[in-house]
C-alpha cells in the first residue's frame, strides 16, 4: 500500500492535534468518523500489504468505531454527503458547468 512521506515539520504539527479534538469539533466530526470508518476496512483492499502495526491500528480503529452508535454514524455520514452536495452546488454556482445541447435532425 502506498504511503506518503510527509515532512517532519508536518508530522510535528500534527502531534498538536488530538483525535479527541477532531471527534469533538463540529467542523471535523463527520469527516473524521468517515475517515476512520474507511480506514477500519483496509484489510479488504490491502490485506497482502498490511504490516503487523497496520493490523493493530486497524483493530484499534474498529474498536473505537464500535463505541459510536450505528444511528449516530449514519447521521454523520449523511452530514458528509450533505456537505459534499452543498460544495458541489456552490462550485457550480460560481463556475457553472457548460453543457452543449444537440438538435435532432430528421
Whether 73 maps to a domain, the answer reads: yes
Whether 1 maps to a domain, the answer reads: no
Q: Taking Cα atoms as reference points, which of 16, 48, 34 lies closest to residue 79?
A: 34
Q: Taking Cα atoms as reference points, which of 88, 76, 70, 62 lies closest to residue 22?
A: 76
pTM: 0.76
pLDDT of residue 43: 80
Q: Taking Cα atoms as reference points, which of 44, 39, 41, 56 lies closest to residue 3?
A: 39
Whether 36 maps to a domain, the answer reads: yes
Tell me how many degrees the CA angle 54-65-84 measures, rounded to the nearest 5. 95
Whether 102 maps to a domain, the answer reads: no
| Cell matching residue 41 | 476496512
Instruction: Work out how many domains the chain is built from and give that number.
Output: 1
Beta strands in 1-106 (DSSP E): none
Whether 99 maps to a domain, the answer reads: no
Convert the pLDDT of each residue in 9-44 to its tens digit.
999 999 999 999 999 999 999 999 999 999 998 788
| Cell matching residue 69 | 452508535
Domain of residue 71, residue span: 8-94
Amino acid at each position: 500500500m502506498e504511503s506518503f512521506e510527509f515532512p517532519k515539520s508536518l508530522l510535528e504539527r500534527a502531534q498538536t492535534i488530538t483525535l479527541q479534538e477532531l471527534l469533538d469539533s463540529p467542523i471535523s466530526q463527520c469527516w473524521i468518523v468517515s475517515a476512520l470508518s474507511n480506514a477500519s476496512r483496509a484489510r479488504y483492499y490491502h490485506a497482502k500489504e498490511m504490516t503487523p502495526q497496520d493490523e493493530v491500528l486497524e483493530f484499534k480503529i474498529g474498536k473505537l468505531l464500535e463505541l459510536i452508535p450505528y444511528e449516530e454514524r449514519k447521521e454523520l455520514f449523511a452530514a458528509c454527503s450533505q456537505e459534499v452536495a452543498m460544495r458541489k452546488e456552490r462550485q457550480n454556482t460560481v463556475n457553472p458547468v457548460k453543457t452543449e445541447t444537440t438538435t435532432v435532425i430528421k
